[in-house]
Chain A
Amino acid sequence: MSLFLAFLLILSASGILIAKRPVYAALSFLGTLMLLAVHYLLLSAEFIAVMQILVYAGAILVLFIFVMMLFQDAYAEIHKAVAQSSKVLICFAASAFVVGVGFVLTRVSQIPTHFSAPLTEGFGQARALGKALYIDFFFPFEAVLLLFLVGIVGAVYIGKRTPEK
């Protein structure tokens, strides 16, 4: 079952690479997000799974599709030609992946096969996350809020400027 889910996840993620048009890439990204949310649910992270759907599929992906529609060439095909230097980099990325997987497989006997840690009451639910955010991580939380504010102000400022022709 988990192997099947993992296979589906990798399949929908590679859809981003093989999609001919940006809109199809976005739809395949949506499938990836849903499957990731299923994984989070199985790992008893209910609140994060819901946030994943709300924030990624509900806000970020809508922004993507909105920008694609704005560009009017959302249905235009993606350039197929890949530069020679990119091919070298792809080989590098693929070999890094193989090395990483090999590293995990050589240590697979030391990695526990089942999750054995006892879960605290309400693990992964909104109350526990809220407690962690407001008590243990209060300063990083406020810093992230500041980052959010700066990001929104910056986005509005860049968006409002009329470009010089």
Chain B
Amino acid sequence: MSLSLLIILSFALFTIGLIGVLTKRNVLVFFLSIEMILNSANLLFIAFAREWGNMTGHVWVFFVLVLAAVEAAVGFAIVIHIFRSKRIVDIDQINLLKG
């Protein structure tokens, strides 16, 4: 397990998440892609924590985990609210803020 492989792996996960965010119109798959981007950052944090023998990276991964949980809770609250009032899960049709 070498550091350069882990960096490339993290890039790949980030790109997969980014492509998901850019192309998926189902709001649930959109959220999954965001979680994938967060996970790519986590992998990089853990890899460099191991490289330098320092626990600080683990602390930030812990914070990112909490952030992901909060983001999922608030995001789903909004999604369920929109679904109850408009019956849509397609993010292209959610345009309440459009001027």
Chain A residues at the B interface, C-beta cutoff of 8 Å: 2-3, 6, 9-10, 13-14, 16-17, 19, 22, 25-26, 29, 32-33, 36, 39-40, 42-45, 47-48, 51-52, 55-56, 59-60, 63-64, 67-68, 70-71, 73-74, 78-79, 82, 86, 89-90, 93-94, 96-97, 100-101, 104-105, 108, 111-115, 117-120, 123-124, 128-129, 132-133, 136-137, 140, 144, 147-148, 151-152, 154-156, 158-159, 161, 163-165
- A163 neighbours in B (Cβ, 8 Å): 81, 84-85
Q: Main secondary structure on chain A at its contact with chain B? A: helix
- Per DSSP, are chain B's interface residues mostly helix, strand or loop, or mixed? helix
Which residue from B36, B68, B69, B70 sits with its C-beta under 8 Å from A29? B36
Please, which residues of chain B bring their CB within 8 A of the CB of A26? 28, 32
CB within 8 Å of A: which of B35-68?
35-36, 39, 42-43, 46-47, 49-56, 58-59, 61-63, 65-68
Q: 1/0 per residue B80-91: CB within 8 Å of A? A: 110111000110
Residue of B51, B54, B74 touching A158 (CB-CB under 8 A): B74
Q: Are B22 and A93 in contact (CB under 8 A)?
A: yes
Contact B16 A45 (CB under 8 A): no
Residues of A within 8 A of B85 (CB): 163-165
Q: A43-B46, A140-B63 are in contact. Are A17 and B5 (CB under 8 A)?
A: no
- Interface of B with A (CB < 8 Å)? 1-9, 11-16, 18-20, 22-26, 28-29, 31-33, 35-36, 39, 42-43, 46-47, 49-56, 58-59, 61-63, 65-74, 76-81, 83-85, 89-90
Chain B residue at smallest Cβ distance from A73: B89
Task: Please measure, in the bound complex, the distance between the C-alpha atom of A132 and the C-alpha atom of B63, giving whole angstroms.
Answer: 12
Q: Kindly identify which residue among A29, A112, A129 contacts B51, using a CB–CB cutoff of 8 Å.
A: A112
A42 touches B1 (CB 8 A): yes
Minimal Cβ-Cβ distance residue in B for A40: B46
**B42 close to A97 (CB less than 8 A):** no
Q: In the complex the two chains form, what is the Cα distance from A158 to B51 in whole Å? A: 43
Q: Which of B33, B47, B65 contacts A51 (CB 8 A)?
A: B65
Which single member of A52, A96, A111 contacts B3 (CB below 8 Å)?
A111
A132 touches which of B1, B3, B55, B67 (Cβ 8 Å): B55
Is A108 within 8 A of B4, CB to CB?
yes
User: How far in angstroms is the closest Cβ of chain B from A51?
Assistant: 6
Which 5 A-B residue pairs are closest in the complex by CB-CB distance? A163-B85, A117-B53, A151-B70, A155-B77, A97-B15
A143 to B65, CA, bound (A): 14
